[in-house]
Amino acid sequence: MKILIVYAHPEPKSFNGAMKDLASQVLQEAGHSVQISDLYSLDFDAVGGVNDFMEIADTKFFNYLNEQVRATNDGGFVPELKTEMDKVVWADFVLFQFPLWWFSFPAIMKGWIDRMFAMGFSYEIRRNFESGIFREKRAMLALTTGSPSMLFRSDGKLGSIEDILHHIHWGMLRYVGMDVLPPFVAYGAARATAEQRAAYLEAYKERLRTVETTSAMSLLALPPSAQ
Ligand SMILES: Cc1cc2nc3c(=O)[nH]c(=O)nc-3n(C[C@H](O)[C@H](O)[C@H](O)COP(=O)(O)OP(=O)(O)OC[C@H]3O[C@@H](n4cnc5c(N)ncnc54)[C@H](O)[C@@H]3O)c2cc1C
């Protein structure tokens, strides 16, 4: 497979950095081609808006979606976006590596989605979910949390990780048609012992070796605990 790792962490020596490096190594050893978008190293601009475009068609009223469709049709995205879009088109599988920040992606990764999953490029009004433009692609989230696993229960204060990630799984990845694999989560990574961290990396290696054959989740509009 052709695999794009989209990685967001400000510190290369972080545990997220170690997971990203491990994924790149294991996936290439398994015969896959890998490209990495290291968003902090790229100094990726997370703010979607007029800066996405070489020029604006309607200068009297900026309509972001209309400009995205127009730029898709006439190649009008700025080179920073075009480069990333080419990687998405190239990839069969997109792996997102990030620490859970405020129950979601770090803003730099959300900005990558805002700008990358442009209307016209990744979806159209009647081309979404199972008929989405990226329906031949697969995706998976690999993340770390600060809180330990015992707090992520559907009857607990934080809720289950499947519920927390549902807006990404359903509202972003599945929306553009991708099949979504179950996430890999290293819970409590910051305060884990060295042995626990080594065990997480070992378990992650196993997950990575089977990404090609792992079944996608069957997702619905409601978060899992509300189904
Ligand atoms: C803005 C913000 C919001 C947050 N919101 C949430 C939230 O909503 N929910 C939540 O649960 N948490 C939250 N957190 C906590 C955050 O999720 C954790 O701090 C993060 O997931 C820990 O991962 P890390 O990669 O940053 O760990 P690091 O602190 O970088 O790494 C942990 C340890 O692993 C070590 N390490 C590095 N490489 C290796 C290796 N190869 N082998 C073994 N050990 C290694 C590092 O040296 C370090 O000691 C938030 C944090 C911030 C900053």
pLDDT for the residue numbered 156: 84
**Ligand 1, atom 45: nearest CA belongs to which residue?**
15
Residues 6+ apart with CB under 8 A from 60: none
For tokens 């967001």, the residue is: 8
CA–centroid distance, 97 to ligand 1, in Å, is 12
Q: Which of 139, 121, 143, 119 is nearest to 7 (CA)?
A: 143
Mean pLDDT score of the chain = 97
Ligand 1 closest atom vs CA 16: 25
CA–centroid distance, 117 to ligand 1, in Å, is 27
**Ligand 1 contacts CB of residue 159 (under 6 A):** no
**DSSP secondary structure letters along 127-175:** B-GGG-TTTT-EEEEEEE-SS-GGG--TTSSS--HHHHTHHHIIIIIIT
Q: Report yes or no: 11 and 97 within 8 Å, Cβ to Cβ.
A: no
For residue 218, count CB atoms less than 10 angstroms from its CB and return exposed for 0-12, middle for 13-18, buried for 19 or more.
exposed
SS3 4: strand
**Tokens linked to 175:** 């929306």
Cα(165)–Cα(163) distance, rounded to whole angstroms?
5
CA–centroid distance, 189 to ligand 1, in Å, is 5
Please compute the mean of the pLDDT values over residues 181-204 and round it to a whole number. 97
Ligand 1 closest atom vs CA 106: 1
Cα(160)–Cα(223) distance, rounded to whole angstroms?
10
Q: Is the dihedral of CA 170, 171, 172, 178 positive or negative?
A: positive
CA–centroid distance, 14 to ligand 1, in Å, is 7
**Ligand 1, atom 52: nearest CA belongs to which residue?**
101
**Ligand 1 contacts CB of residue 18 (under 6 A):** yes
**Ligand 1 contacts CB of residue 104 (under 6 A):** no
**26: Cα separation from own chain's centroid:** 19
Note the pLDDT tens digit of each residue in 27-55. Answer: 999 999 999 999 999 999 999 999 999 99
Share of the chain above pLDDT 70, in %: 100
**Ligand 1 contacts CB of residue 188 (under 6 A):** no
Cα(152)–Cα(197) distance, rounded to whole angstroms?
18
Q: Report yes or no: 76 and 68 within 8 Å, Cβ to Cβ.
A: no
pLDDT greater than 90 at residue 24: yes
CA–centroid distance, 129 to ligand 1, in Å, is 32
**Ligand 1, atom 12: nearest CA belongs to which residue?**
146
**Ligand 1, atom 19: nearest CA belongs to which residue?**
146
**Tokens linked to 67:** 């400009």
Q: Which of 163, 105, 113 is nearest to 134 (CA)?
A: 113
**Tokens linked to 209:** 């070796």
pLDDT for the residue numbered 58: 96
Note the pLDDT tens digit of each residue in 111-167. Answer: 999 999 999 999 999 999 999 999 999 999 999 999 999 999 988 889 999 999 999
